[in-house]
Structure 1
Amino acid sequence: MTKEPVIVIENLRMSYGGHQVLKGISLKVSQGEVIGYIGPNGAGKSTTVKILLGLAEGYSGSVRVLGTDIVDGGVEYKRRIGYVPELADLYDFLTAREYLTFVAELYGIDPERADLKAEKLMDLFGIWGVYDSRIASYSKGMKQKVLLISSLLHNPDILFLDEPLSGLDANSVMVVKELLAQLALQGKTVFYSSHIMDVVEKVSSRIVLLYDGQIAADGTFEELRARGQDTSLEGIFNELTGLHDHRRTAETIAQWVQEG
């Protein structure tokens, strides 16, 4: 018997102020997949994620997450998902200990158990020494690590990541890339949105390219590469979106800067 996909999107449409952002996308995601969800700015990536998280209303179509039709507004499925947004406001006046145990309690985790787990994860991410320091004193990379830890504390079945490597040093990037592979081996699903093509290429078991509110390509990196002449994901992205004039655009900008 085939398991039901953990995410099922059918004919999803969304508009803001008369502008149609999503134009009828349909997508099924299975357990254990690492989905690289890519596309140019304004393609509808963040809108899709916000709908899946139950943070955006007014869409049409059907969206099921972990067997739940999210239009019902239930919160139970949200206990089984984790989220790292591209831009997040942390409570800077709190320490990491206070913030992480607070987040864990929202998911129903015992505070003492949450504290032990958070402290261990802080140590593994190399920032245990600031566990009791106020988040306001953290660097961008340290804050990003706290966000990652907060998304993992409750052992989610699905992890939504929007530019999760922002601000991380090279060693931490390597750790996170390997972590995603390990989570997939545990049967967890990762929905990964990023503009860093080489990372998407390396971590994703499947790549979905969104362009102008529609799915322009969907498959493994090898399947996407077979469709075009370029061998890199960045090149494939440019081919599928028709963005070929980077050099000419850069030359024109440089010229206008000089003449201005």
Structure 2
Amino acid sequence: MIEITDVSKNFGGRTVVRDLTLQVPEGKIFGFLGPNGAGKSTTIKMITGILPLDSGSIVINGTDITTDPLKAKRHFGYVPDKSDAFLRLKGREYLNFIADIYGVPEDQRNDRITYYTEQLDINEALEDQLHTYSHGMRQKAVLCGVLLHQPDVWILDEPLTGLDPKSAYTLKKLMREQADAGKTIFFSSHVLEVVEQLCDEVAIIDKGELRFQGEMHELKEEFREGKTLESLFLELTGDA
């Protein structure tokens, strides 16, 4: 579970996130939506400890990201929107490095590296350096790294960007499997059709403030009145 309570963040005198309160439950795929500049990426960077909070608190599976960041970070796996770190490492070196950070035993890591790289179809590129990978292949490598320590919480920022249709399908299947196993999937995306298809619950923010949080069926009740998810999103973010 992710608990965000009264969180705010300012940059250069401008409030980017204002008094945001969210509870992201276990066992669900939670969609986090908003237009460009709404504060989505800033929120995600605060959840993951990349950016400090100006006020409020964020607790991940009972551990505060500010007061005990190392313990909190062991609970989650994070897929950023840009996979451009450690580019001089070979694919296998990168995955072993991530496994070392999380203390994954050698026998388990080898089995998981084999399984997930075959699932995402990058097993034949593991001896190549990451800088030779396409954006989509780097994204797959990061996804494999996230899965190695079997985190209870997934934090995914536009994870489908650059993935081919087969890999996108595999990722969506893995997300559903993890949610069904009781884990927390926090998923940010601009692709409303994927959100409608995949998510159990959604939150919509605009200008740093929460506009809606609820289960997909609550949004779908609005669809019966002739509204699409796209039109409802535009209405809630003031762009209709």
Tell me if TM exceeds 0.5: yes
Superposition CA RMSD, Å = 1.6
Structure 1 unaligned blocks of 5 or more: 1-5, 245-260
Q: Answer whether contact 1:32 1:187 (CA < 8 A) is retained.
A: yes
- The aligned counterpart of 1:208 is 203
Secondary structure of 2:136's counterpart equals helix
Q: What is the identity, as a one-letter code, of the residue corresponding to 2:179?
A: A
Contact 1:13–1:59 (CA<8 Å) still a contact in 2? Answer: yes
Contact 1:144 1:168 in 2 (8 A): yes
Letter in 2 for 1:126: D
Match of 2:57 in 1: 62
Q: Percent identity?
A: 38
Match of 2:112 among 111, 117, 126: 117
Structure 1 residues 49 and 146: CA distance shift in structure 2, 3 A: same
* Residues 168-207 of structure 1: pairs in structure 2 closer than 5 A: 168-207=163-202
Q: Deviations over 1:25-51 (max 9, x none)?
A: 111122112110000111111111111
TM-score (norm 2): 0.94
SS at match of 1:71: coil
Retained in 2: the 8 A contact 1:230–1:236?
no
Structure 2 counterpart of 1:240: 236
Note the alpha carbon deviations across 1:208-235, whole angstroms, 9 max, x for none.
Answer: 0011111101112221233464543222
Q: Secondary structure at 2:155's aligned position in 1?
A: strand
1:137 aligns with 2:132: yes
> Alpha-carbon deviation of 1:80?
1.6
- State the shift of 1:69 in Å: 2.1
Contact 1:119 1:131 in 2 (8 A): no
Matches within 5 A, 1:32-111: 32-111=27-106
Deviates more, 1:61-70 or 1:183-192: 61-70
Looking at both structures, which has the greater relative contact order when contacts are Cα pairs under 8 Å and sequence separation is at least 6?
A: 2
Q: Report matched runs for 1:152-167 at 5 Å.
A: 152-167=147-162
Q: How many residues align?
A: 239
Q: TM (normalized to structure 1)?
A: 0.87
Structure 2, unpaired ranges of 5+: none
Q: Partners in 1 of 2:69 and 2:235 — Cα distance?
A: 41
